[in-house]
Chain A
Amino acid sequence: MLDPMTIVILAILAFIITYMTVTAMRSRQEPLKKKIIVTQLKCSSCDYSEKREFKEGDYVGKEVGKCPKCSGKLLVEAIYLEEVEGIPELRSAVSIPKSSQPQKNTGKY
Chain B
Amino acid sequence: MDGSNDWASTILVLLILGSFLLNFTDIPQKMQLWRYSSYIRKKIIQLTEIEDESKRKVIKYLSRLNVENPRKVLEGFIDNFFMISPVDIEPTDIIRRMRHLIRTRDDLIRKYVEENLPNATLVQRQNAEVLLEISSVLTLINKIVKHYFQLGLKYNNWILMMQLALELQQIVKLAKAYDDAMDSFMKGIPIGDGAGPLVAHYLKGNAEPVEILKETVYYVTEIEGRKVYVIKAKGPGSTVGWPGEAVEKIINDLGRSVSRIITVDAALKLESEKTGEVAYGVGAAIGDPGPEKIAIERAATKYGIPLDAVVIKMSNEEAINTMTKQVFEGVRKAIEIVKKIIKEKVPKDGIAVVVGIGNTVGIT
Contact = CB atoms under 8 A, between A and B. Distances in A.
Contacts of B324: 80-81, 100
Majority SS at the chain B contact face:
helix
Given A6-B7, A97-B183, A59 B188 contact: yes
Contacts of B8: 5
A105 interface: yes
Interface residues of B, number: 38
A79 B323 contact: yes
B189 A99 contact: no
Contacts of A79: 189-190, 322-323, 362
Given A59-B362, A59-B363, A98-B180, A80 B7 contact: no
Contacts of A81: 321-325
Contact of A105 (B169, B176, B363): B169
B149 interface: no
B91 interface: no
Interface range on chain A (Cβ under 8 Å from partner): 20 to 34
A66 interface: no
B190 A109 contact: no
A103 interface: yes
B347 to A, nearest CB: 31
B152 to A, nearest CB: 13
A40 B7 CA distance: 73
Given A4-B4, A5-B11, A79-B362, A60 B190 contact: yes
B173 interface: yes
- Which residue of A57, A79, A98, A103 has the most chain B CB atoms within 10 A of its CB atom? A79
Nearest to A6: B7
A81 B276 CA distance: 13
Interface string A48-83: 000000101111111000000000000000111111
B363 A60 contact: yes
Given A3-B4, A81-B324, A98-B180, A109 B39 contact: yes
A98 B321 CA distance: 11
Contacts of B187: 54, 56
B36 interface: yes
Interface in B166-188: 166, 169, 173, 176-177, 179-180, 183, 187-188
A37 interface: yes
Interface of A: 3-6, 37, 44, 54, 56-62, 78-83, 97-100, 103, 105, 108-109
Given A56-B187, A80-B190, 6 more contacts: A60-B362, A61-B364, A80-B322, A98-B176, A98-B180, A100-B317
